[in-house]
Structure 1
Amino acid sequence: MSIRPTLNVELHCHTVYSMDGLMSFEALLRTARAVGLDALAITDHDTLEGAIEFQRLARTRDVPLQIIAGEEKTLADGSHLIGLFLRRPIESGKLQEAIGEIEDQGGFCLIPHPFRPRDGLFRDGLDRLPLLENRPAGFEIFNAKCSFAENRKAAELLATKLAPFGGSDAHYESDLGECVNAIAWEGDLRTSIQRLLERRAPLQILGKPQREQDGERTYAPLYYRVKKYLEL
């Protein structure tokens, strides 16, 4: 029996196009190569501009790294939803409408940091879960920026029809690759991720665990205070 090749994929990261990101194309390319990524999804906050631009740069320079255009949309209640394989930005702040926008353009839905108190889609319970069941969709069982308790609680969703994935939630280059998904290659990148989200393909999540006493990680606080003034 032949062994299917695998891809190392980052499904949740940010660039300078996010209001809190500091990752240029050069930094992303350099670090992705260093950590052995085959593909990554750029999921900037409330914009698709950076993902499209970085895709263009990768094509222009014939870079082997595959870039997925995504967006981490802030919904009306402050919770976050990721769309992958997008051609247009997500406009609606309502969950059901945002899901429709993503799927209308052939994209997939991901739920980042589902139980994080300030912006997790399920922070108040699982009442919205039925909107995402029975479709190719994933939830972030491991987020490198979440607390041990939040990641552990995400494991409760394993009993649902959603597929687990991990994300580094990288905002600058030292974060990239903190969590990598090793997925089966199914002939092309989109099909490989679709089969993952349909729970029809094996997955290995390679992430750096936190200690149980760790709270939510706070990192580079000075950078976030000064970025808007420096126009980085």
Structure 2
Amino acid sequence: MLRFDLHVHTSYSQDGLSSVEEVLKAAAAAGLDGVAITDHDTTAGAIHALEIVDRIAPGLLVIPGIEVSTRSGHLIVLGVTRDIPARMSVQETIKEAKRLGGTIVVPHPYNRPRHGMPIPEGADAAEVYNSRHILGLHNRIALRRARDLGLPGVAGSDAHQASLVGSAITLIKADKTVNSVLESIKQGKTSIDVEKTPLHIYAFQMANGWMKKLKAIFIHKNK
């Protein structure tokens, strides 16, 4: 079984704290076979990771991806290196993701404060464990609904800093290639190995994200 963290952010995300290099080194240090780079509304971090992984972390498999902001919440699309426009409807986003050959994972489903959505028709898998769900309620809801729908479940650290990469691991029965891993996810050849993000780190990440958003609003208003 291969060990993957399927939901990781870098500094290419507005709220990401660690560089691509730091994330790749952390993934290798955590003993992962691979990592999905899923920055908010951009594949630039994933592309950068693909370009440098053989030098920074030889043997680590990078799955390129993006976490897209739809009008109803967030969707992760794995296996793509082209940006998908934000603010489209869920079904428009899914249609574009499929056109690009992407694998669609619903991150932190049902957690509305974190832009989670109900699992939509057309999704390939659901994140049934997100390490930033401190109380665990939404993880339990996601797991139950994914089972009801017969949808494969995966885990993601949702790491926004390198030290948390690998805190939620998806075990995947596949060959060590991007296509094989993504196909195995769709087929449900997965299990999970997880731990929670420490509360003080989660709180710091939230505060940092809000500060960056407020700074961006201030700069925009004063242009």
Same fold (TM over 0.5): yes
Q: C-alpha separation between the residues in 2 aligned to 1:167 and 1:159?
A: 21
Q: C-alpha separation between the residues in 2 aligned to 1:168 and 1:61?
A: 21
Relative to the length of structure 1, the TM-score reads 0.81
Relative to the length of structure 2, the TM-score reads 0.84
| Aligned: 1:192 with 2:192 | no
| Aligned: 1:141 with 2:128 | yes
Contact 2:24 2:56 in 1 (8 A): no
Higher mean Cα deviation, 106-115 or 153-162?
Answer: 153-162
Task: From 154, 157, 166, give the equivalent of 1:168.
Answer: 157
Q: C-alpha separation between the residues in 2 aligned to 1:184 and 1:138?
A: 15
1:88-99 matched pairs, under 5 angstroms: 88-91=82-85, 93-99=88-94
Map of 1:3 onto structure 2: none
Alignment root-mean-square deviation, CA: 2.4
4+ runs deviating over 3 angstroms: 59-62, 219-229
Report the CA distance between 1:185 and its aligned residue.
2.1
User: How many residues are matched?
Assistant: 209
Q: C-alpha separation between the residues in 2 aligned to 1:60 and 1:177?
A: 20
Q: Secondary structure at the residue paired with 1:174?
A: helix
Distance 1:160 1:86, change over 3 A: same
Output the amino acid matched with 1:145.
Answer: R
Higher mean Cα deviation, 37-46 or 153-162?
Answer: 153-162
Contact 1:183 1:196 in 2 (8 A): yes
Q: C-alpha separation between the residues in 1 aligned to 2:197 and 2:81?
A: 35
Q: C-alpha separation between the residues in 2 aligned to 1:194 and 1:33?
A: 23
Output the amino acid matched with 2:89.
Answer: K
Report the CA distance between 1:8 and its aligned residue.
0.7
1:49-68 matched pairs, under 5 angstroms: 49-59=44-54, 63-68=58-63
Task: From 122, 125, 138, give the equivalent of 1:132.
Answer: 122
Contact 2:70 2:89 in 1 (8 A): yes
Structure 1 regions of 5+ residues with no counterpart? 1-5
Task: From 111, 117, 124, give the equivalent of 1:121.
Answer: 117
| Aligned: 1:179 with 2:168 | yes
- Per-residue displacement from partner, 1:107-162 (whole Å, max 9, x unpaired)? 1000000011221111xxx6xx3x226xxx11010000113111111122212132
Contact 1:132 1:162 in 2 (8 A): no
| Aligned: 1:73 with 2:73 | no
Q: Secondary structure at the residue paired with 2:67?
A: strand
Q: C-alpha separation between the residues in 2 aligned to 1:68 and 1:103?
A: 16
Map of 1:224 onto structure 2: 209
Output the amino acid matched with 2:6.
Answer: L
| Aligned: 1:24 with 2:19 | yes
Map of 1:10 onto structure 2: 5
Output the amino acid matched with 2:75.
Answer: L
Map of 2:95 onto structure 1: 100
Structure 2 regions of 5+ residues with no counterpart? 216-223
